[in-house]
């Protein structure tokens, strides 16, 4: 893939919605690696989905008294990965030291489950609105796309397509011109100025008007925008984050936050987002090359593509820092 494995393995990658991980173990594939996620009283844990005894998938097992039990011979694993019970061992016989499940970093935050394949100390980005009681949150996804993550991320950052591909929903063709705006590189992220976008009905009142989008690049596979209505101070945030499943297969998740009541149920908000994504999906699944070209000479960019260009530069910089680009 375009982004070095090393970068992603040391980062927090979305694995699931929180509500989808209960006691019953679940298999999730992250960058071609099989993980098992399960929940006990202490929280959610992520192990390699592989029992060291005979290679069975632990996700086929169950959780008993807080321990993950292999379905094949019943070895029991503690939250720290250590095996604490082997049914076949005669009493008094010590459990082999090597009897362990491989444990990954795992946290539950912003309604999602995040894993860190290298267990590195990287901090998760901040999403302040999630903990602000003025904002209501709705989780969107998981939604699959047969595309590499950066194409999906860039599509989300692409301001020019709103009035064309999403005509009548997120823009109108008569208002396709994008005014100038700047990009600001900050310590940990990249942020655009506000970009005016004319929308047919941005708040559900039926009134067309200009709203103002600010895009931010937080991580290689996590970006957000804030949509502001300056007349009403209504704000909507969408954080998009992508799970790279394997080459050309991704799963998208969104955290949507609103400081106003659009009169829609969670289900209606999710369905609208699904409909928008169903317009984007055939585009991203058929773009060539499948990997974003980081050489800015390869595709033809406009000034208004500055957010996308910044994303490509951001990815390129990661590669340069690693000495691989
Ligand atoms: Fe897991 Fe034997 S393969 S206990
Ligand atoms: Co779109």
What stretch of H or E contains 273?
helix 266-286
Helix, strand and coil in the chain, % to nearest 5: 20, 35, 45
Compute the distance from residue 69 Cα to the ligand 1 centre, in Å: 9
Compute the distance from residue 26 Cα to the ligand 2 centre, in Å: 30
Cβ-Cβ contacts under 8 Å for 214 (sequence gap 6 or more)? 191, 192, 193, 194, 195, 225, 226, 228
Length of the chain: 325
Residue to mutate (ligand 1; options 56, 58, 59, 81; most atoms within 8 A of CB): 56
Instruction: Residue 148: name the closest of 238, 219, 221 by CA.
Output: 221
Compute the distance from residue 237 Cα to the ligand 2 centre, in Å: 15
171-211: per-residue pLDDT in tens?
Answer: 999 999 999 999 999 988 999 999 999 999 988 888 899 99
Which residue's CA is the closest to the ligand 1 atom numbered 3?
A: 54
Query: How many Å apart are CA 183 and CA 81, to the nearest integer?
Result: 45
| Residue 18: pLDDT over 80 | yes
Compute the distance from residue 19 Cα to the ligand 1 centre, in Å: 28
246-297: per-residue pLDDT in tens?
Answer: 999 999 999 999 999 989 999 999 999 999 999 999 999 999 999 998 888 8
Tokens of 165: 């591909």
Query: How many Å apart are CA 239 and CA 62, to the nearest integer?
Result: 33
- Transcribe 19-58 into DSSP letters: GG--SS-EEEEETTEEEEEEEETTEEEEEES--TTT---G
Is pTM, for the whole model, over 0.90?
Answer: yes
In which band, very low, low, confident or very high, does the pLDDT at 319 lie, cut at 50, 70 and 90? Answer: confident
| Residue 322: pLDDT over 90 | no
Identify the residues whose C-beta falls under 6 Å from ligand 1: 51, 53-54, 56, 70, 72-73, 75
Tokens of 143: 């939604």
Mean predicted confidence (pLDDT) in 80-108: 97
Which residue's CA is the closest to the ligand 1 atom numbered 4?
A: 73
């Amino acid at each position: 893939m375009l982004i070095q494995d090393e970068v992603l393995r040391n980062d927090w990658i979305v694995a699931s919605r929180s509500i989808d991980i209960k006691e019953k173990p679940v298999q999730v594939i992250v960058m071609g690696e099989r993980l098992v996620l399960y929940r006990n009283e202490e929280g959610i844990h992520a192990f390699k989905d592989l029992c060291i005894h005979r290679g069975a998938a632990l996700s086929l097992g169950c959780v008993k008294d807080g321990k993950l039990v292999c379905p094949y011979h019943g070895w029991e694993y503690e939250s720290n990965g250590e095996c604490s019970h082997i049914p076949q061992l005669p009493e008094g016989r010590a459990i082999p030291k090597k009897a362990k499940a491989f444990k990954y970093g795992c946290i539950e935050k912003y309604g999602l489950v995040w894993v860190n394949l290298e267990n590195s100390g990287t901090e998760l980005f901040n999403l302040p609105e999630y903990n602000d009681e003025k904002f209501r949150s709705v989780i969107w996804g998981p939604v699959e796309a047969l595309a590499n993550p950066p194409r999906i991320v860039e599509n989300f950052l692409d301001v020019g397509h709103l009035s064309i591909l999403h005509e009548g929903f997120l823009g109108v063709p008569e208002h396709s011109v994008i005014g100038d705006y700047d990009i600001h590189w900050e310590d940990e992220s990249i942020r655009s100025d506000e970009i005016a976008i004319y929308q047919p009905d941005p708040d559900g009142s039926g009134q067309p008007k200009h709203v103002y989008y600010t895009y931010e690049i937080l991580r290689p596979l996590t970006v957000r925008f804030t949509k502001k209505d300056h007349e009403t101070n209504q704000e909507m945030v969408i954080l998009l984050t992508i799970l790279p499943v394997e080459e050309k297969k991704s799963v998208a998740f969104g955290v949507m936050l609103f400081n106003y009541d659009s009169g829609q149920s969670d289900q209606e908000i999710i369905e609208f987002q699904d409909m928008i994504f169903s317009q984007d999906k055939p585009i991203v699944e058929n773009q060539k090359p499948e990997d974003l070209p980081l050489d800015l000479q390869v595709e033809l960019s406009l000034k208004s593509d500055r957010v996308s260009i910044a994303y490509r530069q951001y990815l390129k910089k990661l590669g340069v820092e690693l000495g691989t680009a």
